[in-house]
């Protein structure tokens, strides 16, 4: 591999990629806010006596319910756990069949353990949150 690409690839993955992801998320939120602002301004121009708070309630995104948030944590926990098991299994497969170098096996198992830990943490968060927020979830469902 070229020495320059050995430096540029990790920099691109570790620095540029996260910055771009954050920029895209912020840009999406700004566009949504600008669209809502344009809708409100158009409504005010057409009817200046209109209640602005009512319009904002109708066009603003509804907050997620506690149950939805907990289910999202369970989903991410399951995905991260499966990814962790897959990477650990891949590392074991590489070692058993003497494929790749020892570094490949080591990194696969390390990233697998990290993903497994994150997945288990999300699942623990789900089950603990479910117990602690059971009354609040029931109250939200009644409303």
Q: What is the pLDDT of residues 31-58, one digit of tens each?
A: 998 998 888 888 888 887 877 788 777 8
The pLDDT assigned to 94 comes to 87
Compute and round to an integer the Cα radius of gyration of the chain.
24
Q: Please spell the DSSP secondary structure of 18-41, one letter per residue.
A: HHHHHHHHHHHHHHHHHHHHHHHH
| Nearest-angstrom CA–CA distance, 64 and 125 | 17
| Nearest-angstrom CA–CA distance, 143 and 34 | 31
Joined tokens for residue 50: 């209109």
How far from the centroid of its chain's Cα atoms is residue 39's Cα?
29
Statement: residue 1 has pLDDT above 70:
no
Query: Tokens 């927020």 belong to which residue?
Result: 133
Band of the pLDDT at 141, cuts 50, 70, 90? confident
| Residue scoring higher pLDDT (98 or 119) | 119
The neighbour count for residue 109, using CB atoms within 10 Å, is 19
């Amino acid at each position: 591999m070229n020495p320059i690409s050995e430096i540029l690839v990790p920099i691109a993955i570790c620095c540029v990629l996260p910055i771009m992801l954050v920029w895209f998320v912020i840009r999406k939120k700004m566009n949504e806010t600008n669209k809502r602002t344009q809708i409100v301004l158009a409504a005010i121009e057409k009817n200046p006596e209109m209640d602005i708070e009512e319009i904002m309630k109708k066009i603003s995104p509804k907050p997620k319910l506690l149950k939805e948030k907990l289910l999202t944590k369970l989903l991410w926990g399951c995905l991260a756990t499966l990814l962790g098991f897959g990477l650990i299994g891949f590392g074991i497969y590489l070692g058993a069949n003497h494929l790749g170098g020892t570094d490949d096996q080591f990194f696969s198992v390390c990233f697998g353990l990290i993903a497994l830990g994150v997945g288990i943490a999300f699942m623990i968060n789900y089950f603990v949150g479910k117990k602690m927020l059971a009354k609040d979830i029931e109250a939200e469902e009644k409303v």
